Amino acid sequence: MAAIDQKLRWKHLYNVLTRSGPFSDEDWVPGPETINTLESSKVLVIGAGGLGCEILKNLALSGFKDIHVIDMDTIDISNLNRQFLFRQSDIGKPKAEVAAAFVEKRVKGVKITPYVGKIQDKDEDYYMQFKIVVCGLDSIEARRWINSTLVGMVDFENPESLKPLIDGGTEGFKGQARVILPTLSSCIECQLDMHAPRPAVPLCTIATIPRQPQHCIEWAHQIAWQEQRKDDTFDSDDLEHIGWIYNAALARARQFQIPGVTFQMTQGVVKNIIPAIASTNAVIAAATTSEALKIATSCNPYLENYMMYAGEEGVYTYTFEAEKKPDCPVCGNLARAMTVDPNMTLEAFIEALGERPEAQLKKPSMRTEEKTLYQRFPPQLEEQTRSNLKLKLSDLIADGQEIAVSDPAYTIDFRYRLDFS
């Protein structure tokens, strides 16, 4: 009985996975093996918010059986209108755990492993276990982090180290879905220029002549707090803090006869809350999860590589192939390996760099993640790092460490991984 249920449940999915269609790849073998691949694929979902809830539900209903989810947030009452895996009784609980438990209960046979915390808590070993990473994030910073981590993990001897990253994002009625094959296709860093920065109000307007209620809130947040509560670190999740900002903003608004400051607006301005629309999340999450299904099973061609969805004026969608940026700081200049004598001085090393055909660096500055090795300008920093020139490489860097080199003669920077001979 249970087996029959199973079959019925996945009938439509199995239709797709057990026969080839006009668009499926010639080499693709439909059938049980493909289904098995899908069910054993470990997928990571980053974010269990508006998009994350949809993504988790969609993946579970697309036949993925081993799903992990990371989110550091707890459930707030304002999430409940669209984050449908959460109920009022869940307020204050971690999103990842509640979402995982809900989907596990609803879709029999799926295992969802939650992690409550930051993506930065986890290292490459953790990310290495997944086949695909799907992101439903609200921050550029987190996207950049996971992007550069996945790009950095690619080991050209090991195909398994390439983790396709499927990124969804929404803002009001607009959204995007993109597929990133780290080091192969345009990455998040390559596409950063496409993000329009949030328009900022000049500080002087805020300080002197506010015209809008938002200006009063910004004033309270950026100026009044600093003047009056310098020693408290502002925490946008602390209700007392928000309340203080709200009252300060209200007083200022009254002084300038500006109506409209509300507690909710204060929260929105201070936390930079972007209006979220449930259906946009659903559209974008659906796009990302069907890409996950296609990539995991190879049943149909996947998105190459960017789909934008503009729903604010009628509906317009457009798909194009974003190009890799040759000078992308993350995927554009991957470190080249260079074997060096650990007893060589930094000075001799710099000289040797000048002789390398691809570089011919004449006046390089260079550093590791934690150390400024040599910086030619400004003069004060040159003085402070000059003594390094006489030191041996082994005193300055570890075997296999990466250095980054800039030279005024080149518009791009170089990265080298120095292996000791």
Partner 1 sequence: MLKIWSMKQQQQQAENAEGAAGKKKKKVTAAQLRVQRDLQELTLGSTMKMTFPNPDDILNFILVISPDEGMYKGGHFHFSFSVNQNFPHDPPKVKCTQKIYHPNIDLEGNVCLNILREDWKPVLNLNAVIVGLQFLFLEPNASDPLNKDAAEDLRGNREGFKRNVRGAMQGGMVRGVKFDDVLR
What is the per-residue binding string for partner 1 in 8-47, x denoting contact by CB under 8 A? Answer: -----------------x-x--------------------
Structure tokens at 75: 């459930």
Q: Which of residues 389-408 bind partner 1 (CB under 8 A)?
A: 398, 400-404, 406, 408
- Check if 328 is active-site: no
For partner 1, the binding residue among 80, 223, 310, 391 (CB under 8 A) is 223
CB 140 within 8 A of CB 197: no
For partner 1, the binding residue among 110, 330, 361, 393 (CB under 8 A) is 330
For 367, the enclosing helix (H) or strand (E) is: strand 365-367
In the complex with partner 1, the residue whose CB is nearer, 79 or 214, is 214
Is residue 357 near partner 1 by the rule CB under 8 A? no
Residue with tokens 């990455």: 187
CB 312 within 8 A of CB 173: yes
Q: Which of residues 226-245 bind partner 1 (CB under 8 A)?
A: 226-227
Structure tokens at 230: 């310098």
What's the closest the beta carbon of residue 333 comes to partner 1, in angstroms? 9
For partner 1, the binding residue among 29, 194, 203, 239 (CB under 8 A) is 203
What's the closest the beta carbon of residue 336 comes to partner 1, in angstroms? 5
For partner 1, the binding residue among 335, 344, 348, 389 (CB under 8 A) is 335
Interface stretch with partner 1, choices 57-65, 95-103, 242-250, 326-334 (CB under 8 A): 326-334
> How do strand 306-310 and strand 174-180 relate by DSSP bridges?
antiparallel
Rounded Cα gap, residues 123 and 256, in angstroms: 51
Residue 56 DSSP code: H
**CA atoms within 13 Å, Cβ hemisphere of 3:** 0
Structure tokens at 352: 């040797």
Rounded Cα gap, residues 363 and 372, in angstroms: 15
What's the closest the beta carbon of residue 96 comes to partner 1, in angstroms? 24
In the complex with partner 1, the residue whose CB is nearer, 281 or 385, is 385
Which of these is catalytic: 204, 216, 299, 331? 204
CA–CA distance from 332 to each of 165, 366, 401 (Å)? 17, 18, 19
Just list the catalytic residues. 204
